[in-house]
């Protein structure tokens, strides 16, 4: 198995690279990489329900949808990601345990006696330190996951805090567990130093570190433009859903189709002096922010409350 240690500066680039490599690899590869601050939602999830969208916008945290299933995760420079790319029998599922044993053994060698549960998450002293997801297509398997080493747990908790309000849909729901950073158990230095140590522990298991194959910039940008920079993918791929939420001044009920199209949009105010005009084009953050800003009859404080009612 080849090990590559390869990261891009943005979440959009990193996920585009995952997709490119998934179609390009011709032998088993383990990629180790680091993402900037980002919320990464599973392919079949409702991004609006899983991420704290207003907080992420305020803090400049990307919300990006990946091609694999599973739940929502928070990435930052204190988190290591691993991705296994393997050819598999087209009729079989990914063997999670086969891959995770390699990660488990490497972490144990470094001084972290992690255990694997029935969901194939890795735990240390009853706290989750790693979760994972898969994507399988035409005899190719991508199995990727996280390793919490020195993540900002405060920001993590805020960024993936589920939105207030009542969401009804058939999306995959995240399963939350108590978490911990490996560094709190044993400090091996910076995240980069830990990454180097992890790669070294994996090399002992008959692996070698190789230079990463890379797409051209044009190929990478094409995937980013097609998917990872687009609200149509990051938010619009969510299954059809309804959302009901009330705040001090407004109450809202929306029904949103896949693609972000609004089937029903009802916003009412508790004040007879407040008037709402029209509706957003689509139920995406950019459209909602632009529409609320154009409500000339509202004060800035009322606009903020309207945004918080919808987002």
Q: Report pLDDT for 149.
A: 98
Cα 303 → chain centroid? 29
Q: What is the pLDDT of residue 205?
A: 79
- pLDDT given at position 173: 86
Which stretches of the chain drop beneath a pLDDT of 70? 90-94, 163, 206
Give the pLDDT of residue 57. Answer: 96
Whole-number Cα distances in Å, 297 to 145, 180, 271, 303: 47, 47, 13, 9
For residue 307, give the H/E element and its range.
helix 300-310
Q: What domains can be seen in the chain, in order of their start residue? A: 2-230 (3.30.930.10), 241-310 (no CATH)
Note the pLDDT of residue 83: 97
Residue 90 is predicted with a pLDDT of 61
Query: 246, 247, 248, 266: which is closest to 256 by C-alpha?
Result: 266
Q: Which token pair is 139?
A: 């005899």
CA distance 18 to 37: 17
Taking alpha carbons only, the member of 2, 3, 1 closest to residue 199 is 3
For the chain, give the mean pLDDT: 93
The predicted structure's pLDDT at residue 91 = 59
Give the pLDDT confidence score for residue 206 in this predicted structure. Answer: 66
């Amino acid at each position: 198995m080849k090990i590559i240690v390869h990261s891009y500066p943005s979440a959009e680039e990193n996920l585009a690279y995952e997709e490119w490599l998934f179609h390009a690899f011709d032998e088993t590869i383990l990629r180790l990489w680091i993402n900037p601050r980002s919320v990464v939602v599973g392919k079949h999830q409702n991004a609006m329900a899983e991420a704290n969208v207003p907080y992420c916008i305020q803090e400049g945290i990307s919300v990006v949808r990946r091609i694999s299933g599973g739940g929502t995760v928070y990435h930052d420079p204190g988190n290591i990601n691993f991705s296994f790319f393997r050819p598999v029998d087209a009729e079989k599922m990914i063997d999670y345990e086969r891959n995770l044993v390699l990660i488990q053994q490497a972490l144990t060698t470094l001084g972290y006696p992690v255990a694997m549960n029935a969901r194939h998450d890795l735990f240390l002293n009853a706290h989750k330190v790693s979760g994972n997801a898969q994507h399988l297509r035409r005899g190719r398997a991508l199995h990727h996951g996280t390793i919490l080493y020195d993540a900002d747990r405060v920001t993590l908790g805020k960024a993936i805090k589920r939105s207030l309000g009542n969401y009804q849909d058939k999306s995959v729901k995240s399963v939350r567990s108590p978490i911990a950073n490996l560094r709190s158990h044993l400090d091996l230095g910076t995240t980069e130093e830990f990454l180097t140590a992890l790669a070294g522990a994996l090399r002992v298991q008959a692996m070698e570190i190789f230079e990463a194959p890379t797409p051209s910039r044009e190929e990478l940008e094409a995937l980013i433009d097609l998917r990872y920079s687009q609200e149509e993918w990051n938010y619009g791929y969510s299954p059809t859903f309804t959302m009901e939420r009330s705040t001090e001044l407004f109450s809202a009920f929306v029904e949103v189709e896949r693609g972000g199209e609004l089937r029903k949009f009802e916003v009412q105010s508790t004040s007879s002096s407040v008037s709402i005009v029209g509706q957003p084009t689509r139920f995406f953050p950019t459209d909602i922010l632009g529409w609320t800003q154009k409500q000339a009859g509202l004060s800035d404080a009322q606009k903020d409350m309207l945004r918080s009612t919808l987002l």
